[in-house]
C-alpha cells in the first residue's frame, strides 16, 4: 500500500511532515530517479533518495521508542553552541533516520522524556487534537489554598490566554516545601511554572512523571533510559490508531512494561 511521500519521510525520523514538504519543494528528494513533488506516493518497491543518499524504506514495526529519566541541567536541543550536555549525547545509534524528542523539557526540569525514530508517532503524541495529557510532580514554596486550586482548574489569564490544569492534587510536604501532582493537556513552554506563579507560588522542582499512557518507572535512575519492548509498542500504536504490521521487533526492549491502562482516544480525522 502506498503512502504520501512526506508521511513516509517523517516516519523514518527525518523530521516533521511540514519540514519534509519543504524538502520536497526544495528538490532535495528524488523518487525512482525523478525529482519528487508534493502529492507523490511511494511504497516499499520505490527507490527514494534524500540529498543524494538512498533511503531504505522500512515498515512501521522497525520504529524504536526510548523512555528517558532526564536530569536537570541537560537540554533537549540536538546541538548547543555553548557546549552544554544534551539528551542526544548518550543515545544509541540508529542505522537510518534520527532520534526525535516527544515534547521538550526545559533545562531546569527533569523526568520523563520520550524519544522515537518514528516521526509520525512523535507528531501524533504531541498534537493537541490527539488528547494526550501530561502529569508533573511539582515542589513549590508554600501550600495552595482551596481557592488557589479552584482558580488553577477553572483557568487564569497568562499573557492574554486562559491557561489551566485539568487536575491538581496535593501529594506531600512540610514547612515551605510542598509537592503537588498536576495534569496538563498540552504542556506549553514554562506553563506549569507560570500557572503556579499566578497564585504567588514559586516552583523549586519540576519533574514530568507521565506522558499519556507512558509512566516514568521508579527503577529508572536519573540520566538513564530504557527501550520500549514489542508488547508496549503494539499497545501504544494501537491506542494511537497507527499501523504496526507485527508486534515483534528485532530488539528485545524492556522486559517490564512502561505503560498504564489509558482511556480510548478520539478518532483522528
Q: Tell me which residues are annotated as active site.
A: 106
The C-alpha atoms of residue 72 and residue 69 are separated, in whole angstroms, by 10
Instruction: State the cell numbers at 108.
Output: 531546569
Instruction: State the cell numbers at 151.
Output: 482558580
Continuous H helices in 89-138: 119-126
- Beta bridge partners, 252, equal none
Q: What's CA 91's distance to the chain center, in Å? A: 16
The C-alpha atoms of residue 267 and residue 195 are separated, in whole angstroms, by 30
Dihedral over Cα of 247, 41, 116, 28: its sign: positive
For cell 525529482, name the residue.
35
- Report yes or no: 76 and 31 within 8 Å, Cβ to Cβ: no
Amino acid at each position: 500500500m502506498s503512502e504520501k511521500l512526506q508521511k513516509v519521510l517523517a516516519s523514518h525520523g527525518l523530521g516533521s511532515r511540514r519540514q519534509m514538504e519543504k524538502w520536497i519543494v526544495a528538490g532535495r528528494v528524488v523518487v525512482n530517479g525523478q525529482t519528487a513533488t508534493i502529492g507523490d506516493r511511494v511504497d516499499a518497491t520505490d527507490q527514494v533518495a534524500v540529498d543524494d543518499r538512498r533511503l531504505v524504506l522500512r515498515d512501521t514495526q522497525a520504529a524504536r521508542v526510548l523512555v528517558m529519566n532526564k536530569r536537570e541541567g541537560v537540554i533537549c536541543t540536538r546541538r548547543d553552541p555553548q557546549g552544554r550536555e544534551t539528551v542526544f549525547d548518550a543515545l544509541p545509534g540508529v542505522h537510518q533516520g534520527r532520534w526525535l524528542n516527544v515534547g521538550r523539557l526545559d533545562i531546569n526540569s527533569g523526568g520523563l522524556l520520550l524519544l522515537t525514530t518514528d516521526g509520525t508517532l512523535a507528531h501524533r503524541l504531541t498534537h493537541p487534537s490527539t488528547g494526550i495529557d501530561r502529569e508533573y510532580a511539582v515542589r513549590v514554596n508554600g501550600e495552595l489554598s482551596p481557592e488557589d486550586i479552584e482558580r488553577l482548574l477553572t483557568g487564569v489569564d497568562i499573557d492574554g490566554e486562559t491557561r489551566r490544569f485539568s487536575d491538581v492534587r496535593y501529594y506531600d510536604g512540610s514547612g515551605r516545601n510542598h509537592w503537588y501532582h498536576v495534569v496538563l493537556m498540552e504542556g506549553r513552554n514554562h506553563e506549569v511554572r507560570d500557572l503556579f506563579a499566578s497564585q504567588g507560588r514559586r516552583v523549586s522542582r519540576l519533574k514530568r512523571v507521565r506522558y499519556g499512557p507512558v509512566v516514568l518507572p521508579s527503577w529508572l535512575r536519573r540520566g538513564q533510559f530504557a527501550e520500549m519492548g514489542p508488547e508496549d509498542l503494539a499497545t501504544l500504536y494501537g491506542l494511537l490508531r497507527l499501523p504496526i504490521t507485527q508486534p515483534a521487533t528485532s530488539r528485545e526492549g524492556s522486559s517490564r512494561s512502561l505503560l498504564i491502562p489509558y482511556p480510548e482516544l478520539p478518532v483522528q480525522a
